[in-house]
Amino acid sequence: MDLFKKCEDYTIIDELKKAEIYPYFHYLTSGQDTVVNMEGKRTIMIGSNNYLGLTSHPEVIEAGVQALKTYGTGCSGSRFLNGTLDIHLQLEKELAEFLHKEDCVTFSTGFQSNLGIISAVAGRNDVIISDKENHASIYDGCKLSYAKLLRYAHNDMEDLERQLASVDKSKGMLIVTDGVFSMSGEICNLPEIVRLAKKYGARVMVDDAHGLGVIGEGGRGTASYYGLEDDVDLIMGTFSKSLASLGGYLVCSKQVANYVRHNSRPFIFSASITPASVACARKSLEILKREPERVENLQKLGDYVREGLTKRGVKFIDGKAPIVAIWTYSDENSFVACKKLLEKGVYVNPVISPAVPVGQSILRTSYTATHTKEQLDEAMDKIKEVLDEILTKEEA
Catalytic machinery residues:
182, 210, 241
Q: Do strands 35-38 and 41-45 pair parallel, antiparallel, or not at all (unpaired)?
A: antiparallel
- One-letter identity of residue 315: K
List the alpha helices (DSSP H) in the chain. 5-8, 12-18, 58-71, 86-98, 110-121, 136-145, 157-165, 190-200, 222-226, 254-263, 265-268, 275-290, 293-311, 331-343, 373-390
Torsion angles phi and psi, residue 131, rounded to 5: -60, 135
Helix/strand/coil for 36: strand
Helix (H) or strand (E) holding 349: strand 349-351
C-alpha span between 110 and 389 (Å, rounded): 38
Cβ proximity of 36 and 28 under 8 Å = yes
Q: What angle do CA 190, 192, 198 make, to 5 degrees?
A: 100
Q: How many residues does the chain have?
A: 396
Residues 6 or more apart whose Cβ sits within 8 Å of residue 316: 306, 309, 324, 325, 326, 327
Report the chain's terminal Cα–Cα distance, integer Å: 46
